[in-house]
Structure 1
């Protein structure tokens, strides 16, 4: 006797289209969010480090203000954040559902997370190298670009990999409120229609994507690490 999932596949071949669309939506969400996170999170992380206690331009008040904002954004659970900023999401993309809409809260949630990763990676750079370059008359911009970022790049890549993996799990949660992707397919068919096979398939596909991202990130980090 066929299971409900098997009957669905046989009687409604369009489910294959749903599966392909869900995979693509998950990849689109992850890719777009990763791009915006890198564009905004990297400069924020550099700023956090440079105005911090051990940075190039320590500014105690500014660092504390930025830290409070970053820590607050990191502390808000993603599912709450996604619902909380629905008006802002509608303002940006014109809708609160679909993978395009999910990119907005995903990005807002990921930027502070990645910024802290960048800050911690820069803290691991040997301060002796920084001081040696500064004594030669290098500007702070030169030190940031040619010493801090170059030496901290392997750690930054590793942190970005962790951020992307976290984002993939968040895309699954986004499916609970109409964000699309494999998460929504798992909920609509695997959970609401009691089709365990569909749920299992979605989980396996998410695991495969996460594994591929983690392997790629680790490979790149090893290749650029010349310390």
Structure 2
């Protein structure tokens, strides 16, 4: 039977993303998060207002969303309680975070220069999404106690990089879900995904019918600026 419950978090499962951004001095920052979802070539993310990643995205207007696979779990853990902010914000101090400037080296990951945006891609991630900031608003902006503490940002994807090993055979524009194994955060725990459990009626719909004008806009971008 169902009961009324009051969980402290509602983290029922979401992909882990390593967000690459560029600091004021041109160095790179890398931060794991899993408050993200995609619609077409748009992504909505939620981040603490005073995190270094949030500040970098709002200042530069761009980032790279590097999607972690199950093979990146150890690196995600190394980054989990690090912050690019110095001094460390009080809220993060209480959770045991510590400042780390060289995030890539700390996690054993390799930065790659993106094609379009001024932000780093992670070589070891199978999926790298270059993105530009479109809109920002505060979560719970109607509540004075919560307003301006978490920012919700809408990003437009401008270029997609996919590891060939996760693609459908003979189709460079389609991911094979049997090959792509995303890392999932569920109630603060890291999981992979198992085998397909049931046929999906939605899979009968051709993917091209979900195509949005953002894809055509992205294909016209050939140089950073």
Pair in the same fold by TM > 0.5 = no
Q: Which has the higher helix share?
A: 1
When Rg is computed on C-alpha atoms for both structures, the one with the higher figure is 1
TM-score (norm 2): 0.27
Q: Which has the higher strand share?
A: 2
